[in-house]
């Protein structure tokens, strides 16, 4: 694709995304994430226990380049290097355009301000106190968001997914791929932790970011919040502890059955605790989750994805062959 055509395509895509109503001329120029973090002139950035914004950002995105590189290896991506950018906008959102991922400052602030739910009650254990675990929600949420957008770059970018059901199927796929990636990362670094504990910790982090985003945060192409969490739950329940084993999508193994029970309990408890933590919260996801399970209302999205995935794989293979 020529540079001119690429510019036109990017422009067209940006006009149709959740931020199309913003006046580009009145917004600050996007910064690289690394530049944005360095812009906080904090003398204690070298202190890993610093609690100011600059110090917390450093902890939040420590090793992010290595994480993105690992995602590229896992997904066989050999395109242009993925870049992380920050746009100055108070609304929380993230977007992927070609090989670039954009965060709003509102989304980064949202990572920093996530409210911890009671770990002992939800996970069955308390995490150790240190700079990593004290920021585990923000780290897990940002890792999931980056992985979600990377999934679009790896598999979905430049394709026409404008129809509502098609868009929801693609977003559900990105949600699930991102959930599996965060699980694998936590699994790598928490080797002494019980496998089901790692799965629940993954769900806990992802629940915290999805559930706490404003309902009008620009997720028009996504399934409902409850539906997104259902797909993420199923992914975390069916992915196998051994990365070489295929997913157990029919819950035939004892491993998947046990994980599903533990994760569903964790998801229900997360929603109950969220209700008590956020005064005045008007929505309760449990009735919709019950309907999703009993009436299998997830089926149209799943069936749409089944129809699409072979064609998407073909397009991805063709794009790789062009490099």
Q: Judge contact between 211 and 267, C-beta under 8 A.
A: no
Q: DSSP per residue over 135-185, as a string? A: GHHHHHHHHHHHHHHHHIIIIITTS---SHHHHHHHHHHHHHHHHHHHHHH
DSSP state of 245: S
pLDDT value at position 278? Answer: 75
pLDDT value at position 102? Answer: 95
Distance CA 309, CA 270 (A): 32
Distance CA 225, CA 171 (A): 12
- The residue with greater pLDDT, 3 or 146, is 146
DSSP state of 118: -
Parallel, antiparallel or unpaired: strands 83-87 and 31-32: antiparallel
pLDDT value at position 46? Answer: 56
Average pLDDT over residues 251-278: 91
pLDDT higher than threshold 50 for residue 223: yes
Locate 174 and state its tokens.
């990105």
pLDDT value at position 17? Answer: 43
pLDDT higher than threshold 80 for residue 217: no
Locate 14 and state its tokens.
């940006």
At residue 51 the predicted structure's pLDDT band, cuts being 50, 70 and 90, is low
pLDDT value at position 125? Answer: 67
Q: Give residues with Cβ within 8 angstroms of 222, minimum separation 6.
A: 167, 168, 171, 172, 175, 228
pTM here is: 0.83
At residue 135 the predicted structure's pLDDT band, cuts being 50, 70 and 90, is confident
Q: Write down the mean pLDDT value for the chain.
A: 81
């Amino acid at each position: 694709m020529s540079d001119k055509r690429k510019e036109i395509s990017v422009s067209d895509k940006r006009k149709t995304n959740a931020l199309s109503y913003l006046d580009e001329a009145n917004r600050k120029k996007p910064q690289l994430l690394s530049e944005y973090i360095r812009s906080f002139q904090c003398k204690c950035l070298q202190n890993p226990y610093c609690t100011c914004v600059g110090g917390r950002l450093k902890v939040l995105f420590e090793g992010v380049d290595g994480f993105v590189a690992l995602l590229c290896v896992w997904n066989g991506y050999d395109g242009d290097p993925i870049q992380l950018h920050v746009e100055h906008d108070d609304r929380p959102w993230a977007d992927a355009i070609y090989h670039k991922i954009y965060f709003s400052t509102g989304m980064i602030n949202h990572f920093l301000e996530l409210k911890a739910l009671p770990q002992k009650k939800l996970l069955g254990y308390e995490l150790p106190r240190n700079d990593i675990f004290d920021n585990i929600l923000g780290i897990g949420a940002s890792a999931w968001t980056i992985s979600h957008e990377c999934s679009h770059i790896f598999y979905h970018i430049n394709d026409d997914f404008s129809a509502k059901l098609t868009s929801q199927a693609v977003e559900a796929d990105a949600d699930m791929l991102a959930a599996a990636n965060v699980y694998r990362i936590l699994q790598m670094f928490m080797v002494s932790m019980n496998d089901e504990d790692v799965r629940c910790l993954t769900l806990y982090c992802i629940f915290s970011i999805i559930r706490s985003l404003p309902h009008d945060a620009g997720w028009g192409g996504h399934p409902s919040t409850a539906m997104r969490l259902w797909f993420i739950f199923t992914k975390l329940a069916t992915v196998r502890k051994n990365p070489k084993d295929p997913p157990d999508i029919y819950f035939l193994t004892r491993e998947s059955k046990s994980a599903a029970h533990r994760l569903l309990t964790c998801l229900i408890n997360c929603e109950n605790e969220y209700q008590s933590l956020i005064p005045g919260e008007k929505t309760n996801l449990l009735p919709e989750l019950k309907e999703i399970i009993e009436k299998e209302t997830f089926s149209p999205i799943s069936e749409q994805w089944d129809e699409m995935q072979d064609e998407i794989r073909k397009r991805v293979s063709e794009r790789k062959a062009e490099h």
